Structure 1
Amino acid sequence: MTVAPLADRLDAELAELARFHDSAFPGWSRVVFSEPYRDSRDWVRARMAEAGLDPVVDAAGNIIGRLPGADPNAPALLTGSHTDTVPQGGRFDGIVGVLGGIEVARRLTETGTRLNRDLYIVDFLGEEANEFGISCMGSRSISGTLSAEHLDRMDGSGQRLGEAMRGFGLDPSAALGQPWRRPMHGYVELHIEQGPLLERAETEIGVVTAIAGIERLLVHFAGSAGHAGTTPMGERHDALVSAAAAVLTVDRVGCAAPVHGVSTSGSIVSAPGSMNVISDEAKLWAEIRSVERDWLQGARREIVDEITAETAARGVQIDVEWLNDQDPVPTDEPVRDVIASAAAELGYSWRAVPSGAGHDAAHLARLGPMGMIFVPSVAGKSHCPEEFTASADIAKGVHTLTRTLVALDAQDRPRD
């Protein structure tokens, strides 16, 4: 059965949701716990209610809408994504998956297509990385991996994550004890690719093979302050120069990845921060990503070894802290096959692609079979105001998602 989305309605809702952003910045800023985010979530709940989903908000702030199936005891299907953004981000990342899921439910109802299983559409709280250093807060809660240690993390002002959640009207303690208890038949997430592969290959649908693991790195450099005009170059212990050299090390390791691996230095701060004083302290934040677990482990060792050797030569001390954001997560092969078949049956070209970005789907994989559908990103742009996906491509993604969910619903088990 083919249940096509209404592309004009999707376009209108994408534009309407984009109204909720912090106008003090370029692009679309709707970061977790902000007022624009609060307002946008009221709007999302209203859209779910209009689609007949009877939405609820759980203790962790996930907005969950349910489309009842014929058998309330059957393992459920889930889809969704997130509607928060990075600062000065775009208006498609995550949002396509939430509004696309709502459109799937609405079109099933409008065409009289009733699934056997309940279908849940979820707008997960706080998928994007934030000042607390914890991404995918809502999906971690549902999957049972949100921890008390996460709630104790602080932002730059010294506020704990748990306090920020409580100030947003949530219950952080309950968020630790609410893993999804109903059997999950499968989870499928629609998302923009956020990279250039599909557009370059002129391919309409990406069938995601794996979600990259993410290792985040914080290095503290401790040198010696001194006068910039009188301290000889060979006698300096410059923390900022060591941090700058570490940036090049991080970049070099990522460039040497044999299959899929990337590395990024996101920020350096130094003290005392004056151009006529040698820096005695610096901090570097960086990350490495890959769908290859072995490469990630080797890259970690290589980065630490090279930074240690370089800083020792300059007489600078370091303290290295690694934060594992997530391990590489393969998608479920039978679910991939269903997605590929759905795209082919609808006449859409498809190809298998890895995801270098993290997603809520990586955490939902702990609950059952998981798959992801990508649609092309123009010029591969994402996490910036230029982020764009054509409405026709979004509609094809929603169409493929609908076909996939209907096919999974008809299976006794998506696994062999």
Structure 2
Amino acid sequence: MDLLAPDADRVATTIASLAGAFTESAEPGWTRRVFSDAYRASREWTLALMREAGLEARIDPAGNVVGVLPGRNRSAKPLMTGSHTDTVHGGGRFDGIVGVIGAVEVARRLRESGQQLERDLVVVDFLGEEANPFGVSCVGSRSIAGLLDAGHLERVDEDGHRLGDVMRSFGLDPAAALGQAWQPGSLHGYVELHVEQGPVLQSTGTSIGVVTAIAGIERLFARFTGRADHAGTMPMTMRHDALAAAAASVVAIEREGCGAPVHGVSTVGRFESGPGAFNVVPDEARVWAEMRSTEGEWLTGARRRVVDAIGAEASRRGVDLVVEWLNDQEPVRADPLVQDVIGTAADSLGLTWQAIPSGAGHDAAHLAHLGPMGMIFVPSIGGRSHCPEELSETADIADGIHVLAATLAQMDARAEPVGAA
């Protein structure tokens, strides 16, 4: 396996090149949001990187950058690995990027060492993994997995732009994106390398995280409508204060996450109210929130409890409430046997590892529809992510890439998919 050890300096330089050269210059951190000009330019850069590494590369109708390293048996079910290179607003340099650059490095090391897998290795930089104004995350992986539908393309952002129209203006083919799905069972396996985005691995001094499950995500939009009145003359007991009702919902949503008996979290990420004057009782407020857990039963119950709690508070204040839910994804379990292969690969390289759930969403959750799925985590310094301070050490990233290479090699050697009965 030493022949597949990554060139750590090359990896660090490539990550720095992508993160530093393609950002929205007017925005904080390393911002590279889907459909931005910076993201468009980065797609061509990634395409060139794959081709320079010896991959047969193209951009598919959904905007995924797809590279193929041919195996000896082109008719065998392929292996797939990859991640994403878009970021949140004010994001960091490693979320998603490590998985893409790491996958390209594995393909490069296979070629440089003269090794050829039995089956094709498909490397993908999936389009638009992060949440966007259309409420559709993981656009590219949904397309490949057959989970992108016509309803997704009809969703609009706050300015009334349709997702399908924005994709078309970005040079993509929305209709073809709906029709390019791979068949269930068509992958020999999918493995994704990612930074942990949390503090567990660093705090325990562990090299590698073997992901057990990817959290489901339920997103909520609540609109509170009250009545505007003079703030100096309307008695407190007679007000219909939309902002006060919405503020109580923030506490209720936080309380739900704090009381989760298993891995569960809740977050209010956005809050708006109007009219926004010192001397006017607010007549409107809006709240955007989400809840995550690897346990679907808890998510279902949490949805009900949150609606009951914020509904009761709005009713008590005489405020109308409309709640909309968007299920971003269901919880997805990583394949147990893929987890075993990752752990064995880490052991063979003398690296410590531990089983760990993922509270973040990933493209891997959708690729699980096509074959056995697993994920490899590397430590995040301080657990920081989705912020400019996001950091993972080059040595830890190199260890993760080495484990990815060893895992793919072991999976390739099996005649049947790892998860096959």
TM-score, length of structure 1 as denominator length:
0.99
Determine the C-alpha separation between the residues in 1 that align with 2:350 and 2:34.
38
- Alignment partner of 1:277 out of 280, 285, 288: 280
In the TM superposition, residue 366 of structure 1 has moved relative to its aligned partner by 0.5
Matched residue pairs, number? 416
- Alignment partner of 2:43 out of 16, 41, 44: 41
Query: Within the alignment, does 1:347 sit opposite 2:355 as a pair?
Result: no
Identify the range of structure 1 (387-396 vs 36-45) with the bigger mean alpha-carbon deviation: 36-45
Determine the C-alpha separation between the residues in 2 that align with 1:318 and 1:342.
52
Deviation by residue 1:120-159 (Cα, 9 ceiling, x = unmatched) = 0000000000111110000000010101111111112111
Mapping 1:84-233, distance limit 5 Å: 84-181=86-183, 183-233=186-236
- Percent identity between the two aligned chains: 62
Letter paired with 1:324: N
Identify the range of structure 1 (26-35 vs 273-282) with the bigger mean alpha-carbon deviation: 273-282
- Alignment partner of 2:256 out of 253, 256, 261: 253
Name the SS of the counterpart of 2:219 in structure 1. Answer: strand
Report what 2:7 is aligned to.
6
In the TM superposition, residue 275 of structure 1 has moved relative to its aligned partner by 2.0
Determine the C-alpha separation between the residues in 2 that align with 1:100 and 1:237.
55
Report what 1:237 is aligned to.
240
Determine the C-alpha separation between the residues in 2 that align with 1:272 and 1:161.
30
In the TM superposition, residue 103 of structure 1 has moved relative to its aligned partner by 0.2
Determine the C-alpha separation between the residues in 2 that align with 1:159 and 1:328.
30
Deviation by residue 1:351-390 (Cα, 9 ceiling, x = unmatched) = 0000000000000000110000000000000000000000
In the TM superposition, residue 276 of structure 1 has moved relative to its aligned partner by 1.4
Determine the C-alpha separation between the residues in 1 that align with 2:168 and 2:282.
39
Determine the C-alpha separation between the residues in 2 that align with 1:14 and 1:157.
34
**Where does structure 1 differ by over 2 angstroms across 4 or more consecutive aligned residues?**
none
Name the SS of the counterpart of 1:36 in structure 2. Answer: helix
Determine the C-alpha separation between the residues in 1 that align with 2:168 and 2:28.
29
In the TM superposition, residue 306 of structure 1 has moved relative to its aligned partner by 0.6
Determine the C-alpha separation between the residues in 2 that align with 1:26 and 1:271.
27
Name the SS of the counterpart of 1:105 in structure 2. Answer: helix
CA RMSD of the aligned region, Å? 0.8
Query: Within the alignment, does 1:411 sit opposite 2:414 as a pair?
Result: yes
Report what 2:327 is aligned to.
324
Letter paired with 1:354: P
In the TM superposition, residue 273 of structure 1 has moved relative to its aligned partner by 2.0
Report what 2:392 is aligned to.
389
Letter paired with 1:14: I
In the TM superposition, residue 26 of structure 1 has moved relative to its aligned partner by 2.0
In the TM superposition, residue 412 of structure 1 has moved relative to its aligned partner by 1.5
Provide structure 1 residue ranges, at least 5 long, that are not aligned to the other structure: none
Letter paired with 2:109: R
- Alignment partner of 1:62 out of 57, 61, 64: 64
Deviation by residue 1:61-91 (Cα, 9 ceiling, x = unmatched) = 0010000000011110000000000011001
Name the SS of the counterpart of 2:402 in structure 1. Answer: helix
Determine the C-alpha separation between the residues in 2 that align with 1:324 and 1:11.
36
Determine the C-alpha separation between the residues in 1 that align with 2:258 and 2:377.
25
Determine the C-alpha separation between the residues in 2 that align with 1:234 and 1:275.
19
Name the SS of the counterpart of 1:278 in structure 2. Answer: coil
Report what 2:304 is aligned to.
301
TM-score, length of structure 2 as denominator length:
0.98
Determine the C-alpha separation between the residues in 2 that align with 1:276 and 1:366.
54
Deviation by residue 1:248-300 (Cα, 9 ceiling, x = unmatched) = 00000000011200000011111222221111111110000000111111111
